[in-house]
Amino acid sequence: MCQSILQSAEFFAFLLLIDSDLAAEAKTLGCRCCQGPLHQALYPRKPRGAQCVLGAEYRQRFSFCCAHCRRRTTPVSVRFLGRRVYLGIVVTLASALIAGLPGPRAAKLTEGLSVPLLTLQRWRQWWLNDFVQTPLWRGKRALFLPPVEEVRLPACLLPCFSADDEAGRWVRLLRFLSPLTSATPNTPGEGR
């Protein structure tokens, strides 16, 4: 796994396009409660971790508000992993890289990514304890053959996604994780 993906403005632009498509799809569906029309209600964000310059559009998380019942709908995202301030790719990549590193090498990684060691350790624990308890993982883990070694999460997931290049595999992994990114996704098949 290579950190060079964090330096690719093209990669981050592609993630923004995917999020734009996901947001447009959610808006088309209307409110999940009353089917009313949705109006844009962006969340301000201060994303961390990219090692390239991100445009102003990266400081916004797509979200909508119903014109009738005023309920908020936040579509799933491949850029953000829930409410974390670090970008989803950073959380996933850094968590994969930190696994099993001795102290000095871990310190070098934290310096290179500008992520505190305690934060990296907290992310690692999330993957090992909380992620494996999510409905997403409990429902999908049987689809991975051979079975994934959960103690190696998330590093062991990337090879499970085929693509022409490393960026494509990361995009597929982030798409797989996207249901974890919103409590109000408003996606097709969500129980409507």
d(CA 115, CA 71): 35
The H or E element that residue 167 is part of is helix 166-177
- pLDDT, one tens digit per residue, over 16-26 is 999 999 999 99
Partners of 29 in beta bridges = none
Rounded-to-integer distance, Cα 182 and Cα 97, Å = 25
pTM: 0.91
pLDDT band at 189 (very low <50, low <70, confident <90, very high): very low
pLDDT, mean over the chain: 91
Pairing of strands 43-44, 38-40: unpaired
Residue 38 reports pLDDT greater than 90 = yes
The β-bridge relationship of strands 64-66 and 43-44 is unpaired
pLDDT score of 188 more than 60: no
User: What CA–CA distance (Å, rounded) separates 42 from 61?
Assistant: 6
pLDDT at 191 over 80: no
Structure tokens at 54: 């991100």
CA-to-CA distance for 182 and 49, rounded, in angstroms? 20
